[in-house]
Amino acid sequence: MIDAFLGGEDWDEAPEAMAFEAPFGSILSEATRLVEALSAHGSASRSDPDGLASAARRLYVLVPALVNVTLNYKICVEHGLPLHPTVYYELAEARKYKIDHSMAELGRADRLYLESIELSRAAYRLDPAFAQRAAVFKSALPEEVPRFVYTSGLDKYSWRASEPEKLRALERKVRSAYKPELLLAAAHGSIMPGLLLAEYLELPLYFIRFSMFKRKDEAPIVSLSDKVWLSSWRERSVLLYDEDVAKGTTLEIFTRSLSPLFAQSRSACSIRHAGSSFSPDFVAKYWWD
């Protein structure tokens, strides 16, 4: 698992490696190389520990792009938005474009999104079969998607919330009091920690886009395909997750909007500001700055 190589990280300030811009196809190729390099070693305590730790950090911040881009592609197809290589359109712009993407493309976008989540989890597990899985995934991509440019910026709170120790602490708290059958997380900020938390909890994972501050979403973007996928869990228990709770607005709306879809639900975050108006059921750590 990738966390075996991340023990020496500074989890207070986001590393420079978190800020990058690259085409989706290049990211997929680089992730393949990094997984192969790391899976050949047991931990960062072996030969070249600094190089292995650097490779793990790079892989950790790189992998969320696999989910992020395919989620953006899915949303564009479902809502009639252009497939632009560098622009993330706001949902309100769908009224302007009204592009009629085919049902075949819609189905492919949905499949690729689900596969990207499983592929990303395989990357964090350092699955020896990752290269083969990535090649199959890449062969199924529409020709424009590998050219999509993913941009990542420094985000100290998402970085702090992604610390494996915090996620392990959250896992223990959840396991001691609740038995969720699905982890449902708010994208985009929760993608990196959500992938690792799902591995720790050994749960199926799904992301719904809800980005109030970066994308100006007013509510979770739940499409028909999301409703169809989530409908199979309607009689089951879910853990609703966002990586950090500052004011608490995002997770509160996320919980209020999505909890009616399930028989049982609880909310969770990695870090919560002590002054937040919303109190999730499970919190790994509180912060005050």
pLDDT in tens, 225-243: 999 999 999 999 999 999 9
Q: Residue 179 — pLDDT band, cuts 50, 70, 90? A: very high
Average pLDDT over residues 165-170: 97
pTM: 0.92
The DSSP secondary structure of 226-248, one letter per residue, reads HHHHHHTTTTSEEEEE-SEESSS
Mean pLDDT across 149-161:
93
Asked whether the beta carbons of 88 and 69 are under 8 A apart, the reply is: no
The confidence score (pLDDT) of residue 213 equals: 66
pLDDT at 82: 82
Cα distance between residue 84 and residue 86, in whole Å: 6
Residue 49 binned pLDDT confidence (cut-offs 50, 70, 90) = low
Average pLDDT over residues 81-92: 76
At 268-277, the pLDDT tens digits run 999 999 888 8
Say if residue 44's pLDDT is above 60: no
pLDDT at 45 over 60: no
Sign of torsion over alpha carbons 58, 186, 228, 233: positive
Cα 126 to Cα 136, 140, 166, 191, 197, distances in angstroms:
17, 22, 20, 17, 15
- Of 95 and 201, the structure prediction assigns the larger pLDDT to 201
C-alpha–C-alpha distance, residues 137 and 147, integer Å: 15
Higher per-residue confidence, 49 vs 80:
80
Assess whether pLDDT exceeds 80 at residue 55.
yes
Is a pLDDT exceeding 90 seen at residue 247? no
Q: Can you list the domains of the chain with their CATH numbers? A: 2-152 (no CATH), 158-287 (3.40.50.2020)
* pLDDT value of position 3: 94
Contact 200, 270 (CB under 8 A): no
Q: What is the DSSP code string of 150-163?
A: EEE---HHHHHHT-
| pLDDT number for residue 101 | 78
Q: 113 CB contacts (<8 Å, ≥6 apart)?
A: 67, 70, 71, 73, 74
